[in-house]
Structure 1
Amino acid sequence: MIEVSYLREYGKVKSLPMEVQETIQGILQILDTEYGADRNKYEDDGGYVLV
């Protein structure tokens, strides 16, 4: 299982197929933009991606 919460952690998914990487990147961009790149992924609004 891979947990990615911020766009800066995008490197964790480099081993996955490109289509999956692009989808995760889009989700992370939304999370960082809407909830902040310095949010607490477990306590604040926002979230993370599990693969």
Structure 2
Amino acid sequence: MEKILVTRRIPHKFIERLESIGEVEIWDHDLTPMPRKEFIEAAKDKTAMIVTLSES
């Protein structure tokens, strides 16, 4: 099973599609980017990531 990290909220229809592929972890803090340290830790065991252009 795939493990997917999503670093921003995205429309629910896309989350549903991702959930049909595998386990999805979402950073659910709409106005705050995922801190670098947390991103690195969360990404360690993921097979895919959805990252937006606004991430720093």
Fold match (TM-score > 0.5):
no
Richer in strand (by share): 2
Normalised TM-score (structure 1):
0.32
Q: Report the TM-score when normalising by structure 2.
A: 0.30
